[in-house]
Each structure stands twice: as structure tokens, then as C-alpha cells.
A and B are shown apart, each in its own frame.
Chain A
Amino acid sequence: MSTVPGNELLTEVEVPSRAGARSGALGKALDTTIRSLVPVLLALVAGGLLLVILGHDPFAFYSSVWEHGAQGKAWQESAKRMAPLLLIAVGLIVAFRANIWNLGYNGQFLLSAAVISGLAPSLVNDLPLGLAFLIMFVVAGLVGAIWTIVPALLKAFYETNEIITTLMMSFIGVGLAQILIKGPFQDPSVNIAQTKVLELNKMLPHIPGTKVHIGVLVALAAAVVVYLVISRTAFGLKIDVLGANPRAARHVGIQVKQLVITSFFFSGALIGLAAAADILGVWGYIRANWNPAYGDTVIPFVFLARLNPLVVIPFIAFFAVLSTGGTLATQEVGLPTDFLLVLVALILLFMTVIEFLGRRRSLGQSYLPNGLRAALRLPGAKKREQEAAG
């Protein structure tokens, strides 16, 4: 049972509610919300202090971010930015819930993007536009999915650590994408390593009355579908069981190998869709040196949303505003755009701090899924468990 002698009694009674923890469903929801928002707010405050130190006015900066990211017609830019971010976030959620750490998102994304950029110019001319888009979304999904197969098989059959294999496949994927762009998909009419640019009227149609392409709707639909699959279906429950306790999954007869491969597949596929939405909706071509690394910035928000595909939507929206508005705002005041990454890093930092304090004071739910939380040993955790027992 437990490794700490003497806390046998603790399991006899309901786990006592500790000081600082609210009781009741409402209180718990409040706790969770607060806990999700506090790291973001603290990061904005700390970022503001940093701006003061650098000799800028933080209020002016943040209002400039808001102005360029959300006000007037600026929100449309942010909405477009949401499409790839949200699809990647949902793709990561599928894998993370199964306790599979698909960190190969950059390779999966860029490879899909390269393939789509290469195929699009001829496909949109040869086929009816709707069919061409459909085919390209399917192809993008497949490319992303196929790029997970090697880590998936290694994980399923040899229990190889997928963090390492997906990262390695990611580097290979990025390299391969560059080879494709410089080789077969190179636009012969220019001297830069890039694919042929899609004509403006051959890109994804806009939502009527806006300049937002329909890829955003695809992303929102994907989030809702994944949410329903996870909360309602047998497949979703199996993923959660696998994520929470892989040994239990084996014990109750879940086909763990199949499930690992399927989760990887869907994760990669969603990330591939992100590439299709971004290329067909926004860019229309790809350059060899282009790597937006969307996934890296998305990960903190996936955890802030506690791997919930619906809750992640507002977080992604926030980051989209910060990212589009922030790019202009930083240029305005003469800061490098990397300052936005500093803000993301600060969010991560404060998440870690709150996770640490949260364990001590039972502040709502952890950001981490159970499987990962058990694998991590926070400093002093054992001592606190003993205190909790005594």
C-alpha cells in the first residue's frame, strides 16, 4: 500500500480537506480558475517590471498590445493566428492525456506545411477549389500522423522514451522539410529557397463579413470534437486510463500498443491540420528558413487549461492577441519580439511556483496530469506527505 509507515490511517478516512482548500463544487471550480489565471497575471506584472527596468512604460506597452491585437479590426489577425495554435494545442492534449509526450510538433508541423505548400499551387488549379482544400487537409493530417509512426512503434513495442524519439524525429522532420522546399517544391522563378506563392483568390475562403479564413472554424470544431470524444466515448476513457495508470490499462485489457499508436496518430494528424490551416489560410507559401515554433509557446497554455480542449480556447485566444499585438507593440517601442517569449517563459515560471505552493496548500487542482505528477518528485514532497499523514 503506502510506503510511509503509519499513514495507513489516512486512507481509512476521506482524505481530510486541508486548510486553504475550499469545499464544494463551486469553490473547487473557483480555486481552479484562480489557479489558472494567477500565473498569467503574475507574468504580466513581472513583465511590466521588466519593461520599467528597460526604460519603457508598461501601461503604454500593454495598451498598445491590446490596440494592435484586439481593437478595431485587429482581432481578425489574432483570430487567424489562433487557428494553427489551437489545432496544435488540441493535438498535444490528445497525446498528453494518454501520458504520451509528443514533443515532435515542430517537425510534424513543418513537414506538413512543406508538403502542403508544394502541392497547393498545382492542386488548386487542377481540381475544384473545395475538393482541393479537402484533399490538402487530409494529406496534411496524414503527413503529421505518419511522422509520429516511428516514435509510436518504438514506444508501443519497446517502451522507448518518446520524449527523445519525438524530438529526434522533429529535427529530422525540420531538415526534411527544408530539403523538400529547396528541392522538388522550389519555386524556379525566384532565387530564394521558397515554394510557389498561392494566388490570393485560391486561398481558404473567409468567414463572410471578415477577413478571417475558415481554418479558424476547423480549429474550433476540432476542439469541440476532441472534447466530446474524450469525455463521452470509450476511446476517450481508454486514453485517460492509459494516461493515469498504464499498468491498470494493461490489467483491464486495454490494447495498450494499439492505443499508444492511435493516440500518437491523432495527435500528429491534428498538428498536421494546423499546418494546412496556416499555409492555406495565411501564408500561401513556405520559405526554407521559416519555423514559427508554435508548439513551444502553446505548451504552457495546454497545461494551464489542464488538458481540457474547451478550456484551452480562451488561453489560446489570449496568446494570439499577445502574439499579434505584441509583435507590433515591441517594434513600436524598439524591443526585440523575443520579449513575448520572455512573457511566456514567465508564465511557465509562475506556473511552477504555484504548482509547488499548490501542493503544499491544496490550492485547487494540479496543472499536471496524474501520470506525470507521480513521475515528478517535487522537492520536499515526501516530507509533506508525512506531515499530511501525521
Chain B
Amino acid sequence: MKHIISALVENKPGVLAHVAGMFAARAFNIDSLVVGRTEEPDLSRMTIVVVGDDRVVEQVRKQLARIVPVVKVQDFVGQPVVARDLMLIAISAPAEKRPEVLSLIEMFKGKVVDIGQKFVMVEVSGPEEKIEAFINVCKPYGIKSVARTGTIAMPRHAKTDTAPARNAQTQESQ
């Protein structure tokens, strides 16, 4: 089963290496790992997608929490979350196919960010399934290259309203 794990970590050197190294050393598989700054300059958020049975994911969570600069770990499984991926994709779009391609982009609410003689570069964001679907419908036209961010996620309303990151960090994850 797929789990989205969100880890609030201290923003200092070596933390990403520590987390990535732990995953490798304990033979856990990472689907995606995204790191970015938060509203607090000294904290970053890692969003990690892992696939595994409950016992494996439980270990992932505990091993993450054990890393000293990891401040808080949450597993979003079983709760409503907004999860998004961002993709840049360059699609073959010669003049005769261009209207078709543009209408597809329109249907997926993509945004054309660069355009050339033969290719268009499109920015698409959304849940992973949407991104995958867009890649699939573009395939027949020819894809030049794809760059994706991996998933970031946040639990829906109630949680985020009442528990901003700073207050929630003291909450023990185990």
C-alpha cells in the first residue's frame, strides 16, 4: 500500500543524506522524496512516498523519528489529504498536430510555458493519477522529455487549521 509520509526536519546540512541513507541501509523503497523549505526558516519539510505493508511503513516512520534532526513524522494514510505532483513535459507538436495537442493540454488544465517549431513545453500539476494520465495521452504524439517533482501533500482543512506545524511538533509521533 502507498503511504505519504511527511517529515518536518531541521534545515541543516546532512539531514537529507541521513534520511536517504537510512532508507538505503534498511532496504526501504522510496517512490518519491521531495524536500522544500517551510514557513519557518530553520525547518524543512520532506514528503516521502513509500510503498509497503503496515509493518514496513511503521518501521519507516519509527526509524525516521529516531533521526536526531527529524522533528516530527506523520503518516497521512487513512486521512483526507491534498496530494499534488508538478510536471514539466515537452511534447512533439508539429503544425499539423498542434491544435489537437493544445486541446489536450486544455482538457488537463495544463499551461504552455514554452513553444518552439516542433515542441511545446507544458506545465501540469495535480494528483499523481492525472499526471500519469496526461503522459499516457501525450505518448502517441511523442514526448521529448519529462521532469516531475514527486508528490507533496497536506491534510485537509480541520487538521491544518487547528494544528499549525510549530505547535504540532511537540506531539510525539509514536
A binds B: no
Q: Taking beta carbons and an 8 Å cutoff, which residues of A are in contact with B?
A: none
Q: Taking beta carbons and an 8 Å cutoff, which residues of B are in contact with A?
A: none
